[in-house]
Structure 1
Amino acid sequence: MIGVKVLGVVHGVKAFAPLLIERGTGHFLNTASSGGLAPLPDLTPYTTTMHAVVGLTETLDQELKRVAPALGATVLCPGLVDTPLGQNSAALGAIDLQAGAPASMQNAVARFGAKLTPREVAESAIAAIEADRVHVAPGGDVAERAEARVKALLADIAEG
């Protein structure tokens, strides 16, 4: 997961940041998931990689803006999206549909809300980039779960 979900983003940044910096304008859109903003129980490795992409993008945005104000980065953290990812992964042999791997995703719909359409996700991402926002989190209860995480974090720090 680290090799694809985190290092894929790192390699994309390394390849394109010099080009954007040379132009003095441009914007990265990195994709994480709602798991980058709040814990997803029973999905620890996945959640770990998503938190890494969020942190990378937050820092990248600040670093790019120091170089030129017309540069930036946004991290897309959607809830569940209606795609054939499970079926495609099974067709490639990455997961075993019969072993119940997608059952956790089906359970996730019950836990985290209805699936978004790819169009809804794309429209949210474009709006965030146009508004120069660092975070965009369409779908379900993503904002509520992220808010609960931040409140718990601040409470822990205040008590520390």
Structure 2
Amino acid sequence: MATVQSYHPQIDIDLCYLLDKISLSGQDSVRRFNVPPTPSTDVDMSVSAQPVPTQSKQHTDEEQYGCGLLQAVQAQVEACQTTGGEYLDIIFTHRELLFAYPAAHRTCSRGFTDLARQLEQRAWRADREGDSEAVVAFRNEAWIIAERWRMS
């Protein structure tokens, strides 16, 4: 029996529209790590002369987990509306990215959990009526991703 694959151009259109809506304006707030200098191989150098690695930028906010997409969403969580189900676009886009390159998504379970917590804690507004549904969806997605890594 031959299988027939059909092409659905609407999927491509929807994906292009979704990618057009993604904003990376919060990318500067993604935490950057400074790599400490490598120790010198000079045997004459004393241990006390080694510089103590410090982080040049002080961070008062929490560390963000997850891939770049989730970190961008976390940075813009106050502007995120949930009434129209926009959170579903985030989940489906993330699934596509996850299946395309799984190694980049090891901390995404934690990222979705943190995103759900941020939505739970923000103030209610009319355009945020879907927050409770988004919280449940994000927690479910976090569980699915965690199970995926646990099983592999």
Q: TM over 0.5, yes or no? A: no
Indicate the structure (1 or 2) with the bigger Cα radius of gyration: 2
Structure (1/2) with the larger strand percentage? 1
